[in-house]
Amino acid sequence: MTTSSTTILLVEDNEDDVFIMKRALKKAGIVLPLQVVTDGQQALDYLGGKNGFADRSQFPLPGFVFLDLKLPNIHGFDVLAWIREHGLLESMRVIVLSSSAETKDVEKALSFGAHAYVVKPPEPTQLISLIKNS
Amino acid sequence: MQPLANAKIETAQESDLLLRSLETAVMAIHTVSADGTILWANAAELLLLGYDRAEYIGRSIVDFHVDRAAIGELLQRIIRGEKIRDHEAQLKCRDGTVKTVLIDSSGAYREGQFWHTLCFTRDITGRKMADVQLRQQASEASGHAQLYQASQTELTAQKHATEALLESQARFQAFLDNSAAVIYAKDLDGKYLFINGWYEKLFGVKSADLLGKTDFDFFPKEQAEIFRENDLHVIRTGKSLEVEEIARKGAVRLTFLSIKFPLHRSDGTIYASAGISTDITTRIQGEEASRRLAALVESSDDAIIGKDLNGIITSWNKGAERIFGYKAQEMIGTTIMRLIPTERSDEETAILSRIRRGERIEHYETVRRRKNGSLVEIALTVSPIKDVQGRIVGASKIGRDITDRRRLENEQRAVYELLTTVNRTTNLRAIFEESLKCICTCQRVDRASILISDSRGILRFEAWRGLSDTYRAAVEGHSPWARDDPAPAPIFVEDIDKARFDDALKAVVVAEGIGALAFLPLVYEKRLLGKFMICHEKPHIFVNSEIRLLQTIALQLAFAVERHRTSEALELLVDERTSSLREAVAQMEEFSYTVSHDLRAPLRAMRSYSQALLEDFAPTLPEEAAHYLHRISENASRLDKMILDVLTFSRIARAELYLEIIPLETFVRNIIENYPTLQAPLAEIRLQPLLPVLGHEPSLTQAISNLLNNAVKFVPPGVMPKIRIWTEKRGPDVRLWIEDNGIGIKPEYQHRLFSMFERINPTSRYEGTGVGLAIVRKALERMGGRAGMESDGFNGSRFWIQLKGIERESAAS
């Protein structure tokens, strides 16, 4: 269920890709609040409410997580595994963002519990169908 | 001979003397009438057979022959005019014995009518006999001469001298001309007074031409001198002489047994030498052959044994003595069964019954018992022995000792088995066992061992037979060679007692009951790999043939050990290479991952920012700037596509493939449905029924979609792509054809077509990365298939891919 306050968490270390994502959301007309973290550890801290992310009013649990795979420190798959282990897959939709279109990568992401797999760059139409239709 | 009409007293006297000479000649002579009655026989003949004149002359010749029918038939042949030479016959002697003789016979004629036979009989019972005869002859000679002198006187007295002489002369003529011996008389100077017709037959010189000439005129000087010497001996001594003379005339070389004797005048003085020379060349040769044969039999290594049909031994040569250990005198007259082991006693019965049937038994391999009780393996050849009448009377048995041959065969088999094992297996245990077996067989020992050098170069027991733990523990580590000896020599200790080495070690060896030892080094390319040891119970001389065999075994063993080491090293190397290859593959995968993620990010950014600029600042952007931004974006896209294609290529190149049956028709249809560019109205594809193939689905999807996209892409502007797809059976394979109506590819470019980054057409006209066909080719290669194309460069192209078909389909069609 998406509300106007449903937060989107973007886990992405590449600032160009952050720019592309923001622009695509804008073009898609999606105005939900966006939080950006730039590595795997920060993602875990945010989701676990630790290390400066404890304030849920400021850093609410997201309804959508756009997760890049190739991240510094902790890999995207490990973040995905953590989310699954903490039973968070029920309450949030995890969309893997990746440069790779390799079947192997897609299959692996879906098998880890990702709800969707988007090959970069994300297109506004894709985002609309992912967010508005969920 | 002089014609009878001119007969003078002197001639008559001469003939008379010759008659007397014939009477006293050493050769047995007789004449027989047409009805077989013996008319006359000389002293030699009577002596030969032992009869008195009265007991012999006047009786039928048939009574004296063992084979009565044969002599009757012979007589008929002579009457018909045949000359008989060397007719073998058996004559009954007065004392009941039988003599074997050779008869030369021919007819004598008077006034054109058969008168009587003239037979010369040669005893071939032995030349010794002739010698005895000669001596008796010599002592009786004078007596006979007187007797005939008396007879002559009587004839004269009866005044029938002329008739008698004429008859005598005629008889002589016949005797002499029909004699199968050379008969002659020479005067004191050696001039021929007389010679018979046989000479002419042998040497081709007419008797008449010889008269008045000497041997020096006809024979080489050395020979003539010998003849003359013999003649002179007779003249000087007045005694007869038996001598072998060799006469050579041109190519003819004959050996004669010559009886030479003096001719006396009535007053007793010698006026000539006469002789009867019998050609014994053939007989000499026969005797020679027999002697050689006898020597051969005697000196043969094989046992040559004669036995009768009851198995009683009749002859026993040296070879038999050597093989069986019995002397001839122990065996002759006893049964052959003494040699036959009890369990084989039936063999002899079987052999004898086959011999009785006249069969010959060849290479019959069996076992016989020696005098000392040991057994010997022999190969027998047994042939029947026949008597003169052709009846089988016994058997000759040739036995060859094949113990050595058997041993050799066993050795060869053992070596062959070792070679086979070495070639068949790399299992060192099995090779060691086979080697020990081979060594023990070849050396006829039951103790041997194989030691292999360990990593520190110490020789360790690896395999052994019949050696105690104590012994092995005591000798292990002792080596007769230095570790780095490049050419260690075999060591043979033929007698431990006499050998000089470490006392303690020697004590161990002696305690183990070893009498002789051999150490054979196992050497491969000048490296000592190990050794094998042979232990004999008793002192043993190692002969060259044994040593060569042992060295062959050592060579094979060294080869096997080295090969085993090499293969172990090779396995290690393969393991290393495999793991480094795995690492390389892992690195390659990581690299691809990096490429697909990190390399594409900047391109994405370039495209996005260009896009953003175009969108957000469109109103203020000069047209030229907008164009540049488009070009940046397009190039970024192109590079991104190239990266993706290269990734696809590398994925296909290293992906794990499994082949499955692909129903090509639905498969191709699905691909077409995925690409709008392949469908109407953009393209027209005619799909014929397609045969299934064996392929890897993702790789085949990639290959076919690349080909189809190429087919619709390379058409001249404004032309609607038309594509035809069909399959064709090619042996066990199926070829899928994709024919287009595109621009075609000139034959000179076709070879470059399937290479990476090759582009035949300029980028500006036809978009592409130059990787598509490289992917097609790689995909087909990986699936065990092939790819290719045909084009004349104008009228489109026909690309094909070929994969294994499904047999079931071909059977159904």
% of residues, chain B, pLDDT over 70: 90
DSSP conformation letters of A46-69: HHHT-TT---TTTSPPPSEEEEES
Structure tokens at B724: 């035809």
Of the candidate ranges A102-111, B15-24, B575-584, B771-780, the one whose mean pLDDT is the lowest = B15-24
CB B366 within 8 A of CB B346: no
Element (H, E) at B369: strand B361-369
pLDDT by residue (tens digit) across B519-551? 999 999 888 999 999 999 999 999 998 899 899
Question: Which of B596, B607, B649, B697 is best to mutate for the A interface (most A CBs within 10 A)?
Answer: B596
- Tell me the average pLDDT across B165-169: 63
For residue B195, is pLDDT > 90? no
Asked whether the beta carbons of residue B601 and residue A101 sit closer than 8 angstroms, the reply is no
Please state the rounded mean pLDDT for residues B121-149: 51
Cβ distance B601 to A99 less than 8 Å, yes or no, reads: yes
Report the relative pairing of strands B375-386 and B270-279 from DSSP bridges.
unpaired
Quick: pLDDT tens for B436-467. Answer: 999 999 998 999 999 999 888 899 999 999 99
Name the band, by pLDDT with cuts 50, 70 and 90, for residue A25: very high
Q: pLDDT per residue over B695-725, tens digit each?
A: 999 899 999 999 999 899 888 888 899 999 9
Give pLDDT tens digits for B258-279.
889 888 887 788 888 888 888 8
Average pLDDT over residues B290-318: 84
Residue B174 sits at φ, ψ, to 5 deg, of -65, -50
Residue B217 identity (one-letter amino acid): D
Task: Say yes or no to pLDDT of B11 above 90.
Answer: no
The nearest CA of chain B is from the CA of A31 a distance in Å of 19
| Chain A hits for B609, Cβ within 8 Å | 16, 19
Cβ proximity of B798 and B805 under 8 Å: no
Examine the predicted complex and report whether its ipTM is higher than 0.90: no
What pLDDT score was predicted for residue B522? 93
Query: pLDDT class for B142, splitting at 50, 70, 90?
Result: very low
Chain B hits for A102, CB-CB cut-off 8 Å, are 596, 647, 651
Provide the pLDDT for residue B762: 63
A16 contacts B598? CB cut-off 8 A: no
DSSP H/E element including B100: strand B98-110
Which residues on chain B are in Cβ contact (under 8 Å) with A98?
A: 597
* Rounded Cα–Cα distance for residues B531 and B561 (Å): 11
pLDDT in tens, B560-594: 999 888 888 888 888 988 888 888 878 877 777 77
pLDDT at residue B357, rounded to an integer? 87
> Tell me: the pLDDT tens digits for B390-441?
888 888 888 888 888 888 888 888 888 888 888 888 888 999 999 999 999 9
Mean pLDDT across chain B? 83
pLDDT score at B501: 77
Residue B156 pLDDT exceeds 60 = no
Average pLDDT, chain A: 89
Express each pLDDT in B355-371 by its tens digit: 888 888 888 888 899 99
Q: What is the pLDDT of residues B35-76, one digit of tens each?
A: 889 988 888 888 888 888 888 988 989 889 888 888 888 888
**Where does the pLDDT of residue B152 fall: very low under 50, low under 70, confident under 90, or very high at 90 and above?**
low
Residues in A closer than 8 angstroms to B699, CB to CB, are: none
Phi-psi region of B9 (alpha: psi -120 to 50; beta: other; left: phi over 0): alpha
At B427 the pLDDT is: 87
pLDDT value of position B157: 52
Has residue B163 got a pLDDT over 90?
A: no
pLDDT digits (tens, 9 = 90+) for B759-786: 766 655 677 777 888 899 999 999 999 9
Lowest-confidence segment of B182-186, B509-513, B785-789 by average pLDDT? B182-186
**Nearest Cβ partner for A121 among B593, B604, B644:** B604
| pLDDT grade for B813, boundaries at 50, 70 and 90 | very low
Instruction: Summarize pLDDT for A35-92 with one digit per residue, the tens.
Output: 999 999 999 999 999 888 989 889 999 999 999 988 888 889 999 999 999 988 888 9
Does pLDDT of B808 surpass 60?
A: no
For residue A14, list chain B residues with Cβ-Cβ distance below 8 A.
601, 605
- Rounded Cα–Cα distance for residues A81 and A89 (Å): 10
Given B596, B605, B609, which is nearest A100 (Cβ)? B596
b/e for B481-507, b at 16 or more Cβ within 10 A? beeeeeebebebbeebeeeeeeeeebe
Is the CB of residue B636 less than 8 Å from the CB of residue B613?
no
pLDDT computed for residue A4 by the predictor:
64
So what's the pLDDT on residue B532?
93
| Among candidates B601, B644, B651 on the partner chain, residue whose Cβ is nearest the Cβ of A14 | B601
Cβ neighbours of residue B588 closer than 8 Å, sequence gap 6 or more:
B650, B654
Chain B interface with A: residues with Cβ < 8 Å: 593, 596-598, 600-602, 604-605, 607-609, 612, 644, 647, 651, 698
Question: Of residues A119 and B769, which shows the higher confidence score?
Answer: A119
Residues B68-114 have pLDDT tens digits of: 888 888 888 888 888 888 888 888 888 888 888 888 888 888 777 88
Residue B8: pLDDT above 60? no
**Nearest chain A CA: its distance from B597 CA (Å):** 5
* pLDDT, mean of residues B732-736: 94
